[in-house]
């Protein structure tokens, strides 16, 4: 694993965006695996800035996202589709027909997951998979204790996550209880993985995930076995290593 030390969140974002840019420049029709959450926002902002300067062309890029809430439409501001549109897809010249997320509006979980697996199979190997890291070591929505050999599946969100998400919705009934996520097996099949982490609140889990034992209790620890992983983390996130 290569560890790239960044000064702070902005530096982490710029370094990560540099690696993604290099991928796009080297292979304009590359397949990017993308993440949502707060960590990649700065990375996407930097990519958009370079696109606006004329340094990047997304016209041939194809993307597959890690996850989506079950039951949320694309128009819902809490959906990951909406997030991707706001932060990246709506701001660069990507062909929307070449951007894929699990379909949160498909009520049949088996069907939603099989459809996404079919898309992933048809797309072929992901050239560069971007990941964030959950406080409990999750990647995508693969929570502690899950098998390392999963493909796309439906997960029940923990009570903790449901409560944390409640602030974004008017009523408790609207808060998603489930999500569709790419599995660890699929994530591990990417040619290259770029995981970005920022902040002191992630320092403990960075130490456990990348310097501790490989265990399903810390899903990200499996990344230690991938042959091409780059961790870009700021000093605060690396402060316990
Ligand atoms: C998002 C995702 C999650 C996040 C993780 C960290 O698509 O798959 O695994 O990367 O929860 O989230 P933030 O960046 O908000 O700390």
Query: What is the per-residue pLDDT across 224-239, written as a single tens digit (0 to 9) for each?
Result: 999 999 999 999 999 9
pLDDT of 196 reads: 98
Q: Which atom of ligand 1 is nearest to the CA of 181?
A: 8
pLDDT of 161 reads: 81
Cβ of 35 closer than 6 Å to ligand 1, yes or no, is: yes
DSSP 157-213: PPHHHHHHHGGGSSSGGGS--EEEE--HHHHHTSS-EEEEE-SGGGHHHHHHHHHS-
Cβ–Cβ under 8 Å, residues 170 and 178: no
pLDDT of 115 reads: 98
pTM exceeding 0.85 = yes
Interval between CA 66 and ligand 1 midpoint (Å): 10
Closest residue by Cα to residue 41 from 94, 87, 76, 79: 87
Question: What's the Rg (C-alpha) of the chain?
Answer: 17
Domains annotated on the chain, with CATH: 2-234 (3.40.50.1360)
Query: What is the per-residue pLDDT across 132-164, written as a single tens digit (0 to 9) for each?
Result: 999 999 999 999 998 999 999 999 988 878 887
pLDDT of 158 reads: 82
Q: Which atom of ligand 1 is nearest to the CA of 142?
A: 9
Residue to substitute in 12, 36, 81, 193 for testing ligand 1 pocket (most ligand atoms within 8 angstroms of CB): 36
User: Residue for token digits 């660890």?
Assistant: 184
Query: What is the per-residue pLDDT across 17-68, written as a single tens digit (0 to 9) for each?
Result: 999 999 999 999 999 999 999 999 999 999 999 999 999 999 999 999 999 9
Mean pLDDT of 166-170: 88
Residues in the chain, overall count: 241
User: What crossing angle do the helices spanning 80-87 and 41-52 adopt, rounded to 10°?
Assistant: 40
More confident residue, 165 or 200: 200
């Amino acid at each position: 694993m290569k560890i790239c030390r960044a000064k702070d969140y902005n530096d982490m974002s710029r370094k990560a965006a540099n690696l993604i840019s290099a991928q796009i420049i080297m292979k304009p029709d590359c397949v990017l695996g993308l993440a949502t959450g707060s960590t990649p926002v700065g990375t996407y902002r930097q990519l958009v800035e370079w696109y606006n300067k004329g340094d990047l062309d997304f016209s041939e890029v194809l993307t597959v996202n890690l996850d989506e809430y079950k039951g949320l439409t694309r128009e819902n501001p809490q959906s990951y589709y909406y997030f991707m549109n706001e932060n990246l897809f709506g701001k660069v010249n990507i062909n929307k027909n070449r951007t894929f997320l699990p379909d949160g509006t498909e009520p049949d979980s088996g069907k939603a997951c099989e459809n996404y697996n079919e898309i992933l199979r048809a797309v072929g190997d992901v050239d560069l998979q971007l990941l964030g890291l959950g406080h409990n070591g999750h990647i995508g929505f693969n929570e502690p204790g899950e098998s390392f050999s999963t493909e796309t599946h439906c997960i029940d969100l923990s009570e903790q996550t449901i409560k944390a998400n409640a602030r974004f919705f008017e009523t408790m009934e609207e808060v998603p209880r489930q999500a569709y996520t790419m599995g660890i097996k699929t994530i591990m099949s990417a040619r290259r993985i770029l995981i970005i982490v920022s902040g002191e609140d992630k320092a403990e889990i960075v130490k456990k995930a990348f310097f501790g034992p490989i265990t399903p209790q810390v899903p990200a620890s499996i990344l230690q076995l991938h042959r091409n992983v780059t961790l870009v983390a700021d000093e605060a996130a690396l402060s316990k290593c």
